[in-house]
Amino acid sequence: MPGSLINDLGNPVEPFLRSDRMPHIWCPGCGIGTTVNSFARALIESKIDLQSLALVSGIGCTGRVAGYVKLDSFHTTHGRAIPFATGLKLANPKLNVVVYSGDGDLSAIGGNHLIHAARRNIDLKVICVNNLIYAMTGGQTAPTTPDHSITSTNPYGVFEPSFNLPHLVEAAGAVYVARWTTFHVRQLSRSISEAFQKKGFSFIEVISPCPTLYQRRNKLGDGLDAMKYYKEKSKVRHGAPTNEVGLTMTGEIVVGKFVDRDRPDYQTMMRTQYTESLGERFVEQPEMVCDCS
């Protein structure tokens, strides 16, 4: 149990962090650190081989996660964590590749890559911290910002509809889709552990507070108020039809595991196809280990 580890070892997630880089840049009340905590606990629970684990982030507040985890970690360009991770995974299929990024990075500038990676069923574990806003740049509208929210680029209220991310990625082909909030730290850890067991494109959305930019501008209180909101308004509905889980500014948040299905991942399909059409001419990709001679 993680609880007992705290007693024995101090902070149990510390071995997973680059403590020489602390303090981190996140604001008080921000939920990203909480998600990292759940992620680290999932690493403990799933007993995953850390050496095989690589973490890829894009740009934004969540994009900074890559810089704080003591793993092979890549802080890529804005929106392109998924295609970078795709290359990493295809070149070295033994790696467990996690994409850890924000809602704006993954679903706006990176939206095209998100749906295509899901379609191809690339074996990636995507953790999308959704704070409903562009936070790093000062609170602009994201594709996930709920209707009527005030943002710096919609100062009179957002009027464009937002993405329902679980619905989007399910439609595109993800094999595992879950949503939690930063209130659901244990459930989140469990979902991450489960995703590690899946082969294929897994997507976990974590609703996370941005007190500095989203909540303040929308008079939604601070980090603690967000926790109260998540606690009161979250409703666990495993297997909920994803078209029913869209978010509003203050309404119900449907959480749970929405999709858990199996279909062959990209590399399996590739190998099958090549074997079928090339027969003995097909040569398996050798391990791309370096010959440094």
Q: What residue ranges bind another protein (CB under 8 A)?
A: 18, 21, 51-52, 54, 56, 66-67, 70-77, 79-80, 83-92, 94-95, 112-113, 116, 270, 274, 278, 281-293
What phi and psi values does residue 227 have, to the nearest 5 degrees?
A: -60, -40
Residue closer to another protein, measured from CB, 155 or 279: 279
Smallest gap, in angstroms, from Cβ of residue 95 to another protein? 5
**Residue 173 or 209 having the CB closest to another protein:** 173
**Nearest to another protein of 31, 111 (CB atom):** 111
CB 81 within 8 A of CB 110: yes
- Reported in sequence order, the residue ranges of 23-133 that DSSP labels E, i.e. its strands, are 53-57, 72-75, 96-102, 124-130
Q: Name the minimum Å distance from CB 158 to another protein.
A: 26
Considering the complex, state which of residue 232 and residue 282 has its C-beta at the smaller distance from another protein. 282
Backbone angles phi, psi at 176, to 5 degrees: -140, 125
Q: Which residues contact 87 (CB under 8 A, 6 or more apart)?
A: none
Closest approach of Cβ 109 to another protein, in Å?
9
Q: How far apart are CA 102 and CA 127, in angstroms?
A: 8
To another protein, the closest distance from the beta carbon of 121 in angstroms equals 13
Q: Could you tell me which of 36, 34, 64, 220 has the C-alpha nearest to residue 136?
A: 64
